[in-house]
Structure 1
């Protein structure tokens, strides 16, 4: 249990990631131990997304080992975006970082995202996105991502060539202000920019999966992604970008 309120909450969705959790937690704790921006004031929220293997037990073991770790359980598998949302809603930090639970995101990159997001202060509305330059996925998955990213950028003009990278950092209130839907995590740059956030990118390392198997359904994700993209395009066209309202001045009460 933390004695200092966390400034940063790291949300990690997990589905059947037994064997990956302990090494990942050890790396995150190591790389954030001496980070000057968070100063130990962070929490890691592991969201078990209806796992059927030893993931729940391993997550609880990490929570007993590390005071920074909390565990949430979803009784049935909901998917990446609902799992992230559950973690964000439970988070105590002003800032949120998301990462995959399979170890492909490198915790060594986390301090750089933290520095980019926090160097201007807590009041700045910033979304930092990781950009994987040396993908370690299969050729089929890389090609599918390339096509999807090209199409999405042409339609939404989000300026982000790799929205599929899970390593992102943003304000909690920004995330909760966005309309929620399955697949939101892939459209955060477009919606964040539309809702007034400054979207930044930084190169990150992409590591090969060493344990477990990928849960990616390329064909199904392509269909869902196309439907979501058209929905986001409609939403952005129909929703005016928010503007800061200016108070006109104090209304004088009538004198008696």
Structure 2
């Protein structure tokens, strides 16, 4: 199972280079097809840090947005550019541990099977108390509205198939609602505990208030989207005019399921 590790980064100089090195060391060469860093128009030297590594690592790719567009846009740019069938995502601040990637990959369903998404649950979070409290409240209210059963939607470490992701509707901040969207499209989800590490350089790009306001706005939209999504399963798929002596091809394909 070949994977692409995707790392969105905005002003992560001092963090991103170390994270790339750790990723290449942690994921076996036979599995790692590429590490794609998407620079969301940083202005702190993130670009120079990654470009200096390109000559040393054949698996490394660097994409840069022409203007800042946010984490969801960075993830989508990289998934579209990726050539591997399986995607692993991590935050660019280095708080996700690349050593957890292969354990989550092992839980992913093989050959199109379920679960289609494996998400990390951060243990021993290193964030400040106020941020952890805000995160717990956000997870609680989101689960009450969406009933997606996700205990830690803010964890950046997730594994999923590229093809399944590209079938989802795209919108800003969708990366925080991937479990709900995967469920809406008829998939199963699994979770694994993962390590949470302290940020070494820089500061978080989010504030509790800013995240809360955007989150409530998005929550209304995602709730509407789930209720308006209906994807009936394909019961039959027949090929016409079979050759003499051959039977018509009949298959049952699970395309999706109605949302709640």
Please state how far the C-alpha of 1:10 moved relative to its aligned partner: 0.8
Q: 1:44 and 2:39 equivalent? A: no
**Which residue in 2 is equivalent to 1:182?**
172
How many angstroms does 1:192 deviate by? Answer: 0.2
Structure 1 gaps, min length 5: 1-5
1:210-249 mapped onto 2 (5 Å cutoff): 210-247=200-237
Deviation (angstroms), 1:249: 6.6
Secondary structure at the aligned position of 1:62 is classed as coil
Q: Flag structure 2 segments of 5+ consecutive residues without an equivalent.
A: 243-260
Match for residue 66 of structure 2 among 64, 71, 75: 75
Partner of 2:13: 18
Please give the alpha-carbon distance, in whole angstroms, between the structure 1 residues aligned to 2:89 and 2:174: 13
Aligned to 1:3: none
> How far, CA to CA, are the matches of 1:51 and 1:27 in structure 2?
22
| Count of aligned positions | 241
3-state SS, counterpart of residue 52 of structure 2: helix
What is aligned with 1:103?
94
Matches within 5 A, 1:95-244: 95-117=86-108, 120-125=109-114, 126-244=116-234
C-alpha distance after superposition, 1:156-198 (max 9, x if no partner): 0101110110000101111111111111001000110110221
How has the CA–CA distance of structure 1 residues 187 and 242 changed in structure 2, closer, same or farther, with 3 Å as cutoff? farther
Out of 38, 47, 52, which is 1:56 matched to?
A: 47
Alignment partner, residue 255 of structure 2: none
C-alpha RMSD of the superposition: 1.7
Instruction: For residue 180 of structure 2, give the secondary structure of its aligned residue in structure 1.
Output: helix
Judged with a 3 Å threshold, the aligned counterparts in structure 2 of structure 1 residues 65 and 241 are, in CA distance, closer, same or farther, namely same
Q: Distance in 2 between matches of 1:129 and 1:75?
A: 30
C-alpha change, 1:144 and 1:123, in structure 2 (3 Å) is same
2:184/2:229 contact within 8 Å kept:
no
SS of 1:93's equivalent in the other structure is: coil
Change (3 A) 1:251 1:245: farther
**Native 8 Å contact 1:136 1:207 kept in 2:** yes
Shift of 1:247: 2.5
How does the TM-score come out when normalised to structure 2? Answer: 0.88
Q: Which has the larger helix fraction?
A: 1
